[in-house]
Every structure is written in C-alpha cells, then in structure tokens.
Copies of this chain bind each other. A is one copy, B any other.
Amino acid sequence: MALTIRDVARAAGVSTATVSRALRGLDNVDPATRDRVVRIAREMKFSVSPSASRLATGRTGSIAIVTPFLGGWYFTELFAGMEAALQRFDVDLLLHATGMPGVTAHPLRAHERVRRRVDGVLVLGMPLEMVESEGLFELDVPVVLLGLQAPGVPSVSIDDRLAARMAVEHLVERGHKRIGLISGRPLPTMFVPENDRLAGYLEVLVEHGLSVDETLREPGDFKVAGGEQAMERLLSLRPGPTAVFAMSDEMAYGALRAMRRRGVEPGKDIAIIGFDGHDLADTFDLSTVRQPVRDLGKAAGELLMERIAAGSLADAEVAPILLPTQLYARGSTGC
C-alpha cells in the first residue's frame, strides 16, 4: 500500500542504505546523490515509517507529559511553552492524565502506560510520592519534574516559598497585621508547592513579629467557588483578617465575589492578593504574584530533550532550574 524506502531506492537507482542516509541528511552521501534522492522521494510523496525506524534505532521519538490535573489555565500555559520548546525536535507528545490518588485514579499506572513508548517523561505538578507510586523512576528514561524540586532529579519550577513571601511582604508593607490565607488543599498536604508557600507566609509573619493564627487559614481547593467559601468563613471571624493571601488567582476571584456580596470593598476594607498572574487578574484589578508558567513549560521541554540527548552520561549534575516570580500590585491591595 504505502511506499517503502525500497521503492525510492529503485526509482533513484541506489541502495536503500543510501536512501536512508540521504533522507536523514547524513553527511556521508554525495551531495548530488543526496539531492536527487530527496527530490525523488518528495516527488513520490514518500515518508518514512516511524514504526520501522523506531524499531531499527531503538528510539521512540516520543515524550510523555504525565500529570494529575489536565486542565485549567496553568496547564494550558505550560503546554503552550512546551510546544514551543519541542517544535524543532520533531517528537511526538503523548499526554497521560493519572487522576488524583484516591479521587479518580487511572486504572493503569503511568509506568505501564508509557513504558517503552517514550524517550523521556515530563512530570507535571505531581508530589514525589506520586511520581514514585506511578513507577516513573523505574522507567529507564530521563524524567524532568515540572513545578517542584526534588533532590537528585532534574526539575524546573519557581521558588514557591520566595514567591509567597513576596505576596505576604507586600501585605505587611501596606500595614496589615492580621493576614489570612486561602490555601488549596488543607495544609499540610502532599503537594510540595503549597507547603512551601505556607512556609513563606509563616516566615514573613514571624519575621515581622506578627501573631500566627491558625483560624485565619482556610482551604479553597484551587477553585473559584472554593475561594468564595473560604473567604466567607474568613469574613465571619471576629476579629477577622484585614488582608488575605490566596494561593491562586482563581480562588482570589471567588474571594472578591464573597467580599462584594458582603459589601466589603477589596483594597479598602480588606486587601487581597492572589498568585499566578492569571489572564483575568488585571481585569479584576487583583494584585498577584506572577509565575512565568509558559517559560516553565519551555524550559522543562528543553531540559528534557537535553537529558535525552545526553543519554546516561552526566547524570551527576542536576541543578534545579528556578524561574523568577514577580509582584503585581493593583487595586485589590489598595494600589
């Protein structure tokens, strides 16, 4: 049915070995021959069989993204960045959603799903325990962590502790002393970034001699509705917070809504700052700490391809890559 390299070889009057070399642009081919073969192949609309070439070389030409959460703004941005990085490598990008342990886990472990199918794995937003339980380290291919660091594993992330500090320090500078927190899951959690953000929050409070009050911390599940409910609980406290740090912009949107409904004016009655640099933050005049999500994706994609190219060499030096975050002060903190 489909043409093979033999058809091209016959048409060009050369061996299949020469066609193979010519088509891949290897340099041990006479330029004239190469050009002719390439031209003929194109005329015949020949294209190589990936399966055959993969079997012959032992490389899959694919990488996988493995992640518990598929959707949302964060994933989308990340993905766009990865696409940009991967474009020039001509690798297939496999997507595998694991689901959350205990919630909607995938029937197969990621290990089973990607084994022998990929040359490397990008692990997104997964706690280390999960990376292990999904068997990702048992794969004999490079793994790059995205969104958190772990000793000895290549990773691309932000410094969550530092980023949280930026947010809370901003609130302290605006004169606040009772600063509430809307987290994702209830703390502490298996997710490192959230714990790190909590650590940053606590550090700043302590450094400024502010009292640490556990009742001022509410989980919001990283959703708008969750943020709204969390803020409602905070608003009903006596005394309540005068400022709130939400661990995501989307939760902050919910919080803004809860405030408005109670007639509490953001940035005036109560200050609120989000986290992410989500598209709508500007629209809602929400202060936030921006993380360069797209760049994270790009850097992770590049790092993974680098590790794949390096093979088993250079396994020693794996300095984590940390990308900078940035404070955006807006109306919601009175700016």
Q: Enumerate chain A interface residues (CB-CB to B < 8 A).
A: 2, 47-52, 54-55, 60, 62, 70-73, 75-77, 79-80, 83, 87, 92-95, 97, 106-107, 112, 115-117, 140, 223-225, 228, 253-254, 257, 279-280, 283-284
Contact = CB atoms under 8 A, between A and B. Distances in A.
B71 A92 contact: no
A225 B115 CA distance: 43
State how many copies of this chain the complex holds: 2
Best-surrounded residue of A51, A107, A253 (most CB of chain B within 10 A) = A51
A51 B55 contact: yes
Given A47-B115, A94-B94, A223-B279, 15 more contacts: A2-B116, A48-B116, A50-B116, A50-B117, A70-B76, A70-B83, A71-B76, A71-B80, A75-B76, A87-B107, A93-B94, A224-B279, A224-B283, A254-B283, A257-B283
A49 B94 contact: no
Nearest to A115: B47
Best-surrounded residue of A48, A50, A54 (most CB of chain B within 10 A) = A50
Contacts of A55: 49, 51-52, 55
A63 to B, nearest CB: 11
B49 A51 contact: no
A77 B75 CA distance: 12
B87 A77 contact: no
Contacts of A60: 50-51
Contacts of A62: 92
